[in-house]
């Protein structure tokens, strides 16, 4: 397996409800396992993000809590070929928030 880093970056508009902003798809012939997640929010308080594997809810992160600790989040999520990891976000603040997510992934030929 090879370790790779993928960066997802998006901006959640001010006062916005939940919407899908980013995704990491696994192409045919590969298998991926997400091992670690690192996140940066440009604004607190207000932003929240949720992770899904296809339609399965994985977890939610609140910007205020994350920015106080800023530790990598350990994961063990398999994302088989033909599926994807999706990120939704919401922002209750009066300003837009840029979110950067670094996914550390083990990748192998299936």
pLDDT in tens, 3-39: 999 999 999 999 999 999 999 999 999 999 999 999 9
pLDDT tens digit sequence for 34-61: 999 999 999 888 999 999 999 999 989 9
Query: How many angstroms separate the Cα of 96 from the Cα of each of 23, 35, 80, 91?
Result: 20, 29, 33, 8
- Token representation of residue 82: 């033909």
> What is the C-alpha separation between 73 and 65, in angstroms, rounded?
13
- What integer pLDDT is reported at residue 108 of this predicted model? 92
Domains of the chain, by residue range, sit at 2-109
- Name the CATH code of domain 2-109 (choices 2.60.120.230, 3.40.50.11030, 1.10.10.10, 2.40.170.20): 2.60.120.230
Sign of CA dihedral 7, 59, 12, 85: positive
The neighbour count for residue 101, using CB atoms within 10 Å, is 22
What is the predicted pLDDT for the residue at 7?
97
Per-residue model confidence (pLDDT) at position 54: 94
pLDDT of residue 72: 86
Query: Who's near 30: CB < 8 A, 6+ residues apart?
Result: 81, 107, 108, 109, 110
pLDDT band at 63 (very low <50, low <70, confident <90, very high): confident
């Amino acid at each position: 397996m090879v370790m790779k880093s993928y960066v997802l970056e998006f901006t959640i508009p001010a006062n916005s409800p939940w919407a899908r902003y980013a995704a990491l798809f696994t192409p045919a012939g590969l298998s991926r396992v997400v091992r670690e997640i690192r996140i940066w929010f440009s604004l607190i308080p207000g932003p929240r993000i949720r992770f899904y594997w296809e339609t399965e809810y994985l977890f939610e992160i609140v910007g205020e809590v994350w920015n106080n600790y800023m530790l990598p989040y350990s994961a063990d999520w398999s994302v088989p070929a033909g599926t994807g990891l999706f990120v939704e976000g919401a922002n209750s603040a009066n300003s837009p928030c840029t979110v950067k997510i670094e996914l550390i992934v083990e990748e192998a030929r299936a």
